[in-house]
Structure 1
Amino acid sequence: MKGISSKSKFLLWLLCLSVSISLTSETTVHAFSGQVIQRGAVGDDVIELQARLQNIGFFNGKIDGVYGWGTYWALRNFQKDFGLPVDGLAGLKTRTKLVNASNFNGKFVHEQIAKGNDFTYYGNVPIEKQVKPKKKTNAGGAAKAPAKQAAKGGGAKTTPTATAANVPGGYSQNDIQLMANAVYGEARGEPYIGQVAVAAVILNRIESPSFPNTISGVIFEPRAFTAVADGQIWLTPNEGAKEAVIDAINGWDPTGEAQYYFNPDTATSGWIWGRPQIKKIGKHIFCK
């Protein structure tokens, strides 16, 4: 039996190479298009960007395909943590790093958006547990907001629900939920006023030019909150944490406009001790 000629070997090598390239292209074509994704962009690339960032805990907003400030700060925090240039632009290097670090079930995400469902896409949580069917609306087209008890001791108590319909200032349901997660993770052992105080600090930072101007931007700013660093922000908050957030949004600031706080029993940073102190609430000292 004659051996394979050099020409045949070369042709066989070319065939294998072309198949390899074809398979590689097929596995990567579904991860973003070739465009640089930046603030103001809309569409499928932004949906994938938001979903992947949420999958690994950087984005807590609504996956809606609109690149706003929440997506911008989430991407910057991702870039910083993964050693990339921090510019809020999802170029090739950033997209490649994100694809390697996250999971994206495009069919699930696009299906939920098409159905109008309220959903999330966090990692390590079964996706079937992250979907809430679209809320029914009344005749006027707006979701019915539950009544809140007007005064303590008057009539049967109804549990207030944090919704965009009954909170001022245009805060979204995602904003309320994220703040409740932060309050619960940071201060669930504190008295109620101490939980309101933590929520107030978050809001005070949004109003300051020294901090990001969104809820997610403030909470996920690197090294800003212990609960983010140790993962306790993903604990399920109780109703008390949600009520504390609503009270803070409605104007209750027991801290005296503090932008920082710390536990003197556990603080290791000398810097925080140098901040002008306002008052102590529970175990936390609140500072300017």
Structure 2
Amino acid sequence: MRNRIFSKWLLIAVCFTLAFTIVTPANKAHAALRYGYQSVDVPDLQFRLKVLGYFKPAQVTTYYGMMTQDAVERFQSDYGLPADGVAGSKTWSLLKRVSVNKTELDLLARIIYAEARGESYKGQVAVGAVVMNRLASSSFPNTIKGIILQPGAFSAVDDGQFNMSPDSEAYQAAIDAVRGWDPTGNALYYFNPATATSKWIWSRPQTVQIGRHIFAK
């Protein structure tokens, strides 16, 4: 079973907005960054690498030091890019496809908490995985915000539960979903069989049931 202890450094980075943190739009173009640079883009780079488990320091900064360079090199090596430690256009493009910024992680944790609080940890990760699967599908909006706020997509958005503050477990579940844990079998939908009345959702190919939710493609 995955470690459900939410480490101190990540709780600080996620739950509190640091004075130097820059919230960067997911589609913003970034200049190439390398060792020794100081830039407002560095916190976003470090945060994304932190979510993926590459950047270990407790806080993000505006300085591109050795720990940032090492994190970039390991990310590049794992994802088949030249491991030069420079965050250029190819590295940024790939990093944005497989990671999230702080705002996106907040949104993902909120929808997990709103839709799946009270479920097992695996059930919470599963809801996050559905969002990530939709992000990879051409049939849905191409941003996490667009997916979550798509009209009628999530009942918790419609009834206001999405506005509640998520707990640390929801954040950890969001991180695990971003890192690729998908207990749903690539599902794009889920529903509660005790309350679902839509014939369409019942017609979808089902992959697994986790807690109160049936997941489907």
Q: TM-score, normalised by structure 2?
A: 0.58
CA distance in 2 between counterparts of 1:235 and 1:191 reads 19
Task: Could you tell me which runs of 5 or more consecutive residues in structure 1 were left unpaired when the two chains were aligned.
Answer: 1-61, 70-134, 145-166
Pair 136,224 (structure 1): closer, same or farther in 2 beyond 3 Å: closer
| 1:102-141 aligned within 5 A | 137=61, 140=64
Alignment correspondent of 2:195: 266
CA distance in 2 between counterparts of 1:239 and 1:142 reads 29
Pair 189,136 (structure 1): closer, same or farther in 2 beyond 3 Å: closer
CA distance in 2 between counterparts of 1:214 and 1:249 reads 13
- Deviations 1:19-52 (Å, cap 9, x if unpaired)? xxxxxxxxxxxxxxxxxxxxxxxxxxxxxxxxxx
Alignment correspondent of 2:133: 204
**Code of the aligned partner of 2:175:** I
Pair 283,185 (structure 1): closer, same or farther in 2 beyond 3 Å: same
Alignment correspondent of 1:253: 182
Pair 168,212 (structure 1): closer, same or farther in 2 beyond 3 Å: closer
CA distance in 1 between counterparts of 2:98 and 2:182 reads 16
Task: Could you tell me which runs of 5 or more consecutive residues in structure 2 were left unpaired when the two chains were aligned.
Answer: 1-21, 29-58, 69-95
Alignment correspondent of 1:226: 155
CA distance in 2 between counterparts of 1:283 and 1:204 reads 20
Aligned 8 A contact 2:185 2:207 in 1: yes
**Code of the aligned partner of 1:244:** A
Q: Shift in Å at residue 268 of structure 1?
A: 2.1
| 1:1-288 aligned within 5 A | 137=61, 140=64, 169-288=98-217
Moved over 4 A (4+): 66-69, 138-144
Alignment correspondent of 2:17: none
Alignment correspondent of 1:47: none
Pair 140,254 (structure 1): closer, same or farther in 2 beyond 3 Å: same
Pair 255,67 (structure 1): closer, same or farther in 2 beyond 3 Å: closer
Q: Shift in Å at residue 270 of structure 1?
A: 1.6
3-state DSSP class of the match of 2:98?
Answer: coil
- Deviations 1:225-281 (Å, cap 9, x if unpaired)? 011100111100001001001111111100000000000111121211111111100
Pair 247,136 (structure 1): closer, same or farther in 2 beyond 3 Å: closer
Report how many aligned residue pairs link the two structures.
Answer: 140
CA distance in 2 between counterparts of 1:261 and 1:211 reads 15
CA distance in 1 between counterparts of 2:97 and 2:112 reads 19
- State which structure, 1 or 2, has the greater radius of gyration over its C-alpha atoms: 1
Aligned 8 A contact 1:200 1:253 in 2: yes
3-state DSSP class of the match of 1:279?
Answer: strand
3-state DSSP class of the match of 1:245?
Answer: helix
3-state DSSP class of the match of 1:195?
Answer: helix
Pair 182,138 (structure 1): closer, same or farther in 2 beyond 3 Å: same
Give % identity. 51
3-state DSSP class of the match of 1:204?
Answer: helix
CA RMSD in angstroms, aligned pairs only: 3.0
3-state DSSP class of the match of 2:183?
Answer: coil
Aligned 8 A contact 2:123 2:211 in 1: yes
**Code of the aligned partner of 1:277:** Q
Pair 193,136 (structure 1): closer, same or farther in 2 beyond 3 Å: closer
**Code of the aligned partner of 1:137:** T
